[in-house]
Amino acid sequence: MNSLTVKNLLKDNPSSQKVFIEGWVKTFRANRFISLNDGSCSENIQCVVDFENTDQEILSKISTGASLRIEGTLVESQGKGQKSEIKVDKIIILGECDMNSYPIQPKKHSLEFLRENAHLRVRTNTFSSIMRVRSNLSFAIHKYFKEKGFFYVNTPIITGSDAEGAGEMFKVTTLEIEKTPLNNKNKIDYEQDFFGKETNLTVSGQLEAESLAMGLGKVYTFGPTFRAENSNTSRHLAEFWMIEPEMAFYDLEDNMELAEEFIKSVIKDLINECPEDLEYLNKRLLDEDKSKPMNERNELNLLDRLNFVVNNDFKKITYTEAFEILKNSKPNKKKKFKYPILEWGVDLQSEHERFLVEKHFKKPVIIYDYPAKIKAFYMRMNEDGKTVKAMDILFPGIGEIVGGSQREERLDVLKARIKDLNIEEKELWWYLDLRKYGTVKHSGFGLGLERLILFATGMSNIRDVIPFPRTPKSAEF
């Protein structure tokens, strides 16, 4: 007897072969038709029960959510909508499901409700599709870099440095919070802490990735990152996954080219690997759109949007060009932006990014050469002394999906920047060493995995594309 997945069974040509399958009941109709799903794909297999010859007690235990092992024969389907079905010989109840209390009823649930039941939401079609997309994208990312000759490196999760200099870190300590020891300056005495110094969860593996690129050439990290920014938005998580490639000998131009090719490649891969899940998510989105006013509906459906990104060049503009467009834009003149664009050097907010991408260019946009003032210390200073070789990639519906730069490889310039920003030079002694011993031009970027999944699935809240989201005041499960 063959144990198969629903995915394989549905591909098979039915020829009365004996099979068994294990999964969860989606629906049970007329005491005869069991729709079974095992997570292998979005579709279910229909199992037809011989009502007369089946123990009534067993039938009474079959309900939505119950887990079963079904043995039977794979035959051509009598009904419409599927090629094959299982004619059931034997049912074994693996786990009953109390329908009175089971939160996932066979009906439409709100995304908010499912977030409160995140431990069970993967049993719904929407969330199993999202998680399969997430898995496939992750794999496509590793595949892309392997084919490009990159090495996968693991950078520390516990670190002593604040790579982004934004101070949004979670502390890691074994000191007792109520009785933290103080030193002679009346400050917490971290020398008594586990690592003998102040440590945090990493906000980025970049600095360590730079060290590895200086010997391996091209590397990438793919790991969890933590940010204690108190932004309760649909785009921010306190714990998210970031992919950070770092390349020796690459300048900003090479970096932008790689990032664009990379994103296109993994989305193309996804379109090939997950057609059913994308089709399902596409339908979900069309349904959702129907309840929205005309002007808020998506212009392109999900699949068209993915294909559009794969087939069109991203628009590249400097910060200064973006600033001019925004400054002269209708919403800015009519004071529609919450943060008006007045003076060169202001940071771009999500409303500005979305205006450029969704209204002005109507395609992904790469903005580069940002004012040094609003960017991190490690970015390479341009000749003008005002801007740095930074780049952000902005996506429709998402805003920033990638942030990256060419790194400052000149020791003296880097030291001056660190001093300007009041960063402790001695904390970065090892990072500065990289500029002393065989320094080279190099570049890299960070892609937020969940932001990519938002785009790929058409979901609108980042809490719905990671299994167990961590956000301010929420760390359940």
Scanning 188-196, 346-354, 381-389, 395-403 for contacts with Mg ion by CB under 5 A, the matching segment is 395-403
Cβ-Cβ contacts under 8 Å for 279 (sequence gap 6 or more): 303
Q: Tell me, what amino acid is at 28?
A: F
Q: Give the E-state strand segments of 307-423 in sequence order.
A: 315-318, 365-371, 387-395, 399-406
Residues 244-263, mask of contacts with ligand 4AD (x by CB under 6 A): x-------------------
Nearer to Mg ion, 245 or 403 (CB): 403
Q: Which does 66 bind (CB under 5 to 8 A by kind): ligand 4AD, Mg ion, none?
A: none
Stretch that binds ligand 4AD, among 20-28, 44-52, 144-152, 442-450 (CB under 6 A): 442-450
| Site membership for ligand 4AD, residue 375 (CB under 6 A) | no
- Cβ 402 to Mg ion shortest distance, Å: 8
Q: Which of 145, 150, 240, 319 binds ligand 4AD (CB under 6 A)?
A: 240
**Size of residue set near ligand 4AD by CB under 6 A:** 23
Among 21, 49, 326, 402, binds ligand 4AD (CB under 6 A): 402
DSSP 465: S
End-to-end CA distance of the chain: give it in Å, rounded.
38
Strand partners, 25: 36
CA distance 340 to 252: 29
Q: Which range of residues in 5-13, 166-174, 400-408, 425-433 is near Mg ion by CB under 5 A?
A: 400-408
Assign 273 to helix, strand or coil: helix
Does the protein bind ligand 4AD through residue 403 (CB under 6 A)?
A: yes
Residue 362: both structure tokens together: 């109507």
Interface with ligand 4AD (CB under 6 A), residue from 46, 129, 202, 206: 206
Question: Which residue number, 203 or 281, has a Cβ lying nearer to ligand 4AD?
Answer: 203
Please give the Cα distance from 183 to 274 (Å, whole number).
57
Query: How far is the CA of 142 from the CAs of 152, 182, 220, 256, 417, in angstroms?
Result: 8, 46, 9, 19, 34
Residue 404: name its binding partner from Mg ion, ligand 4AD, none (Cβ under 5 to 8 Å by kind).
ligand 4AD
Quote the least distance from Cβ 226 to ligand 4AD, whole Å.
Answer: 9
In the complex, what is the shortest distance from the CB of residue 231 to Mg ion, in angstroms, rounded to a whole number?
13
Nearest-approach distance from CB 417 to ligand 4AD, in angstroms = 15
- Judged by CB under 5 A, the residue of 72, 205, 403, 404 near Mg ion is 403
42 touches ligand 4AD (CB under 6 A): no
| CB of 446 vs ligand 4AD, minimal distance in Å | 3
CB of 96 to ligand 4AD, least distance (A): 39
Q: Where are the beta strands (DSSP E) in 259-377?
A: 315-318, 365-371
Near ligand 4AD in 158-177, by CB under 6 A: 163-164
Please report whether residue 70 would count as binding ligand 4AD according to CB under 6 A: no
Q: Among residues 204, 265, 332, 457, which is the contact residue for ligand 4AD, using CB under 6 A? A: 204
* Rounded Cα gap, residues 436 and 430, in angstroms: 10
> What span, in angstroms and rounded, lies between the C-alpha atoms of 456 and 267?
7
Among 39, 53, 49, which residue's Cα sits nearest to residue 70? 49
Q: How many CA atoms lie within 13 A of 322 on its CB side?
A: 30
- Binding residue (CB under 6 A) for ligand 4AD from 26, 121, 132, 236: 236
- SS3 assignment, position 182: strand
Q: Which among 23, 72, 75 is positioned nearest to 49, based on CA atoms?
A: 72
Residue 354 CB-density burial (10 A; 0-12 exposed, 13-18 middle, 19+ buried): middle
User: Does residue 404 touch Mg ion according to CB under 5 A?
Assistant: no
**Residue 309, CA distances (Å) to 110, 303, 456 in order:** 29, 10, 10
Stretch that binds ligand 4AD, among 78-86, 117-125, 186-194, 439-447 (CB under 6 A): 439-447
Q: To the nearest whole angstrom, how small is the minimum distance from the Cβ of residue 20 to ligand 4AD? A: 42
Check binding of 445 to ligand 4AD (CB under 6 A).
Answer: yes
Query: CB of 314: closest distance to ligand 4AD in angstroms?
Result: 14
Return the range that interacts with Mg ion (CB under 5 A); candidates 51-59, 335-343, 402-410, 416-424: 402-410
Residue 152 to residue 146: CA distance in whole angstroms: 8
Identity of the amino acid at 117? N
CB within 8 A of 401, min separation 6: which ones? Answer: 263, 393, 394, 395, 447, 448, 451, 452, 455
- Taking CB under 6 A as the rule, does residue 450 contact ligand 4AD? yes
Separation of alpha carbons 74 and 9, rounded Å: 8
Binding site for Mg ion (CB under 5 A): 403
Binding site for ligand 4AD (CB under 6 A): 163-164, 204, 206, 227, 229, 236-237, 240, 242, 244, 400-405, 444-446, 448, 450-451
